Structure 1
Amino acid sequence: MLDRRPARERLGQSSPQRLTRYFVLFMACVYVALGLYLLLSTVSIFSLPSTPRRILGGVFILYGIIRFVRNYRAITGKNDEE
C-alpha cells in the first residue's frame, strides 16, 4: 500500500543518526586497540608500571568488546529475546 518511511530512507540519504551509529562502533574498536597496545607494548607513553598497565589494558579490551556487541545488536535489531 502506502510507503510510510521517511523521505530520507526512501531516497537513500544517510541521516546523522546513522553516522553516529558507525562512529560508536569505531570508538569501540579504538578502545580494543588501546587495550591491546597497553597489554602488548613493552615501552609505553604512559608512565605506568607493568601490572596496572596490563590490568587497564584488559579493562579497555573488555569494555570495547561489550560496547561493540551492544551497539551492533542495537543497529541490526537483534536482541537476546529472539
Structure 2
Amino acid sequence: MSNLPHTHERLGRPSQSPGLIRYFTLFMAVLYMALGISLWLVPAGMLRLDEMARKLLSGVFVFYGIIRFVRTYQQYFKKNRHEA
C-alpha cells in the first residue's frame, strides 16, 4: 500500500515501564473514592453543605474515583492483546 508510518510509529511507542506514574494515578483514584466516602459519612453539622448536596458531591467523587481507577488499570496494568 503506502509507505506512510502507522500512528503508533509516528507518535513513538509508550515506555514499557511507566514507573511511578501508574502508582500515583492509582493512589489518586483511591484518594478520590476515600474523599467521597468520608464526605458521605461526616456528620451533618461539620460542613456548611446541605445534606443532599453533600451526598451528591460524595457520589460524584466516588464515581470519578472508580472511573480513574478503571482507566488506570486498563492503561497500565492490563496486558495488551496485540502484544501477546
Q: Would the TM-score normalized by the shorter structure come out above 0.5? A: yes
Which residue is 1:76 aligned to? 77
Q: How many residues align?
A: 67
Sort the Cα spacing of 1:45 and 1:28 in 2 relative to 1 into closer, same or farther, 3 A.
farther
Higher helix share: 1
In the superposition, the TM-score normalised over structure 1's length comes to: 0.68
Which residue is 1:47 aligned to? 48
Find the aligned partners of 2:22 and 2:66 in 1 and give their Cα distance: 15
**Letter of the structure 1 residue corresponding to residue 23 of structure 2:** Y
Secondary structure at the counterpart of residue 19 of structure 2: helix
Q: Structure 2: where are the runs of 5+ without partners? A: 1-15
Pick the structure with greater CA Rg.
2
Task: State the superposition RMSD in angstroms.
Answer: 2.7
Q: Structure 1: where are the runs of 5+ without partners? A: 1-8, 10-14
Percentage identity across aligned positions? Answer: 49
Runs of 4+ in 1 over 6 A off after TM superposition: none
Q: 1:1-82, aligned counterparts within 5 Å?
A: 17-43=18-44, 45-78=46-79
